[in-house]
Amino acid sequence: MKSSTSPRVRSVRRVATGCAAAAIATTVLFSPSAAFAETADNGGAQRNDGDNTVPLRSAIVDGPATNVILLIGDGMGDSEITIARNYAYGAAGQLPGIDALPLTGQYTTYSLYKDGARKGKPDYVPDSAATGSAWATGTKTYDNAVSVDINGAPQQTLLELAKANGLRTGNVSTAEIQDATPAVQVAHVASRSCYGPDSASCGADALAAGGLGSISEQLLDTRPDVTLGGGSASFTQTAKAGDWSGKTLFEQAEGRGYQVVKTAADLAGVTAANQEAPVLGLFTPGNFPTRFAATTATVGGANTPVSCAANPDRLGTDLSLASLTNSAIDLLNSPAESSKGFFLQVEGASIDKRDHSADACGQIGETIDLDEAVRAALDFAEKDGNTLVIVTADHAHTSQIVDSTPPTSLSTAVTTLEGSVMKISYGTGAAGGSQQHTGAQLRVAGYGPGAANVVGLIDQTDNFFTIANALRLNRDTAALSAGAKATLPKTVFAPGETFDAALTGLAGDRQITGVVASEPVAVPKTDVLAGSATIPLTAPTELGEHTVTLTGSQTGTIVTARFTVTADGQPLPGGATGTGGATGNAGGLASAVNGALASTGAAVFPILGAAALALLAGGTALYRRRHNRPIPRA
Ligand SMILES: [Zn+2]
């Protein structure tokens, strides 16, 4: 490994700093490009520094990892990486973040058709929803799907699993936080545009229709420790069903203990983020403004080279993607909270969006922005020593570096760092329309424990398993809730007396619902924080024995506790006080429904609807049995 740089590199980097690119990191993890002579000389452009066998061998580190940071450049294919490098660092230069990862492979990204004769066959050009779902869940699915399989069954995500295993979690994007890439870690919907309670596309996923809710509402349920991005507009919408019906999602977030932050100053004031007080930072109504001002590609446009200009509307650098990445890492890795490690996903979203708009400078700026976030992640990982960093994209995109101005398709030319001209063509859409994604395989790069698993030709779904294995995630969430128990403060209550049930050991679940019987009274849906919850209850007015039955929303685990109501709240003479304060029951029915959020093909119940029905039927039967059973006498 070499850390020295030749005068050529230094001069290139100095220009880059004063030009388009931002600060250049000095640390080089692995340095195939550290030494250049003039590129016209024999060997002058080579990136290898002699034999790389030894540094490559030392870059292969056994897992497990304590932390994983997954960085996604949306739409960042090889073209987009090369274009940004050429522009900002030169053809012989190096992106300080993306190009510093020592282990690289390629992965396939195709999605699957959902319907008709082609159901299950490859769709060679995927969207961000299918591709994000692939790495978030390990299951290939259809375009438009957010972490549901081709039959609509919700699939457990890395973020959900990390949380269930006691790790801390974060989700950062320059897009609306409801956009597909951030959404795939926190929600399960059939249609990616189901952003909020007002989204007509939610259909059966809407809370009012008995579904899990819109992406924004599910985000609040999933409760990552840190969420940073855009998309505040959806949180001003009002819930139409559920316990928070009639309240805006911002009101709901605050009511459920979130620290809602809307400015860089707000974020700077946050000192801790955890399950009791997670951070929801939404800094723009929609997507973040881009770093560079937009350029418009035209037919013949590459005949007149331009330079990229700063976008005056860009957010302050304290809200750059690198800055938000550092904030998230700081909060997730704080000594008080980091004992079990963390999983963090970071997305540079608008490489894709500017590519769709045939905006060369826009996409270049967003790629540089992501690269700086990668550098921030690597700087942390290098110091930490137990962090796996993976950098990749979701799907390839339109932009191509071409030799001459295309006669029929849109193009733009930019003057690069070296003063040369790079012509960029957009040939998959008409002027003013949306350019298309493309179907080529993508680069995937890794650093740290377990990174060897990105090498070679893999599939996007491999990322799920690489990360789950690196973090040693137990994917059997029902097992993580199997030790659940409920404890009541005493065993006998007066009619109408209020008390709390303390629930512990329900790590596989994020919410709990329940019923107090005999006359059934619903228990409010309650957030389970790190396996524990405090559930406010009211003793029925009917004298006799009663049961509270609590059901974990994600695993279907059932916990019961029994108590007695007497007229004066005192035990009956002879000790007929029921069964005692705490009875845990996480077996039986729970094991029958633990596929509610499973992995298709590896689990018990492939369809949530079926699991929910089974749960409903089972829960009702259980309730009836308990209700009809004579009160046991001690
Ligand atoms: Zn796109």
260 C-alpha to ligand 1 centroid (Å) = 29
Q: Of 33, 128, 323, 425, which residue is the catalytic one?
A: 128
The Cα-based distances of 450 to 59, 454, 463 in angstroms read 10, 8, 11
d(CA 49, CA 60): 19
Q: Please state, rounded to an integer, the average pLDDT across all residues of the chain.
A: 87
d(CA 240, CA 246): 6
Alpha-helix runs per DSSP H in 188-268: 215-222, 249-255, 264-268
Confidence check: pLDDT of 30 > 50: no
Determine if residue 127 is labeled as part of a ligand binding site: no
Determine if residue 352 is labeled as part of a ligand binding site: yes
DSSP 459-493: ETTHHHHHHHHHTT----HHHHTTT-EEE-S-SEE
Confidence check: pLDDT of 15 > 50: no
- What is the bridge-based pairing of β-strands 485-487 and 498-504? antiparallel
399 C-alpha to ligand 1 centroid (Å) = 12
Once rounded to an integer, what is the mean pLDDT over residues 279-294? Answer: 98
Q: Provide the angle, in degrees to the nearest 10, between the axes of the packed helices 360-384 and 321-332.
A: 30
Determine if residue 355 is labeled as part of a ligand binding site: no
Report whether 171 contacts 224 (CB < 8 A): yes
Nearest to 225 by CA among 171, 156, 186, 188: 171
Cβ burial of 334 (10 Å; 0-12, 13-18, 19+) is: middle
Report the pLDDT value the prediction gives residue 608, as an integer from 0 to 100. 32
Structure tokens at 125: 């050009």
Domains of the chain: residue spans and CATH: 67-470 (3.40.720.10), 477-628 (2.60.40.1930)
Report whether 191 contacts 143 (CB < 8 A): no
d(CA 572, CA 519): 21
pLDDT in tens, 60-114: 999 999 999 999 999 999 999 999 999 999 999 999 999 999 999 999 999 999 9
d(CA 159, CA 291): 28
pLDDT band at 272 (very low <50, low <70, confident <90, very high): very high
Confidence check: pLDDT of 606 > 50: no
351 C-alpha to ligand 1 centroid (Å) = 9
Report the pLDDT value the prediction gives residue 225, as an integer from 0 to 100. 98
Determine if residue 397 is labeled as part of a ligand binding site: no
Structure tokens at 161: 């699993």
Q: What percent of the chain has pLDDT over 70?
A: 84
Ramachandran angles phi, psi of 604, nearest 5°: -75, -50
127 C-alpha to ligand 1 centroid (Å) = 6
CB neighbours of residue 314 within 10 Å: 17
d(CA 38, CA 44): 5
64 C-alpha to ligand 1 centroid (Å) = 33
The Cα-based distances of 591 to 66, 144, 212, 548 in angstroms read 30, 31, 21, 20
Determine if residue 179 is labeled as part of a ligand binding site: yes
DSSP 438: B
Once rounded to an integer, what is the mean pLDDT over residues 622-633? Answer: 32
More confident call, 488 vs 28: 488
Ramachandran angles phi, psi of 282, nearest 5°: -120, 110
Helix, strand, coil % in the chain, rounded to nearest 5: 30, 25, 45
d(CA 515, CA 623): 9
Ramachandran angles phi, psi of 104, nearest 5°: -130, 150
Annotated catalytic, 133?
Answer: no
Confidence check: pLDDT of 380 > 60: yes
pLDDT band at 37 (very low <50, low <70, confident <90, very high): low
Report the pLDDT value the prediction gives residue 336, as an integer from 0 to 100. 75
CB neighbours of residue 2 within 10 Å: 14
Nearest to 141 by CA among 130, 129, 156, 152: 130
Q: What is the chain's length?
A: 634
433 C-alpha to ligand 1 centroid (Å) = 13
Q: Provide the angle, in degrees to the nearest 10, between the axes of the packed helices 7-18 and 78-89.
A: 90
The distance of Cα 242 from the centroid of its chain, to the nearest Å, equals 24
Once rounded to an integer, what is the mean pLDDT over residues 239-268? Answer: 98
Q: Which amino acid is at 599?
A: S
Angle among Cα 128, 130, 134 to the nearest 5 degrees reads 110
pLDDT in tens, 572-588: 876 544 333 333 443 32
More confident call, 140 vs 50: 140
Once rounded to an integer, what is the mean pLDDT over residues 411-427? Answer: 97
435 C-alpha to ligand 1 centroid (Å) = 9
pLDDT in tens, 520-547: 889 989 999 999 999 999 999 999 999 9
Determine if residue 347 is labeled as part of a ligand binding site: yes
Determine if residue 356 is labeled as part of a ligand binding site: yes
Q: In 374-497, at which residue ranges do the beta strands (DSSP E only) sit?
A: 387-393, 400-402, 410-415, 421-426, 442-447, 456-459, 485-487, 492-493
356 C-alpha to ligand 1 centroid (Å) = 6
The Cα-based distances of 199 to 178, 204, 217, 239, 266 in angstroms read 12, 12, 12, 11, 29
Report whether 178 contacts 216 (CB < 8 A): yes
Strand partners of residue 464: none
Confidence check: pLDDT of 594 > 90: no
N- to C-terminal Cα distance for the chain? 76
Determine if residue 395 is labeled as part of a ligand binding site: yes
Determine if residue 627 is labeled as part of a ligand binding site: no
502 C-alpha to ligand 1 centroid (Å) = 46
Instruction: Tokens 């921030």: give the residue.
Output: 376
Once rounded to an integer, what is the mean pLDDT over residues 550-555? Answer: 96
d(CA 611, CA 21): 52
Report the pLDDT value the prediction gives residue 2, as an integer from 0 to 100. 35
d(CA 367, CA 347): 11
231 C-alpha to ligand 1 centroid (Å) = 17
Confidence check: pLDDT of 220 > 60: yes
More confident call, 301 vs 574: 301
150 C-alpha to ligand 1 centroid (Å) = 20
Report whether 16 contacts 72 (CB < 8 A): no
The distance of Cα 78 from the centroid of its chain, to the nearest Å, equals 23
Report the pLDDT value the prediction gives residue 519, as an integer from 0 to 100. 77
Report the pLDDT value the prediction gives residue 618, as an integer from 0 to 100. 36
Nearest to 328 by CA among 315, 319, 340, 339: 319
352 C-alpha to ligand 1 centroid (Å) = 5
Cβ burial of 510 (10 Å; 0-12, 13-18, 19+) is: buried
Confidence check: pLDDT of 279 > 80: yes
d(CA 565, CA 28): 69
Confidence check: pLDDT of 625 > 60: no
Cβ burial of 391 (10 Å; 0-12, 13-18, 19+) is: buried
Q: Which helix (H) or strand (E) element contains residue 513?
A: strand 511-517
The Cα-based distances of 129 to 11, 312, 484, 620 in angstroms read 42, 31, 34, 36
437 C-alpha to ligand 1 centroid (Å) = 6
363 C-alpha to ligand 1 centroid (Å) = 12
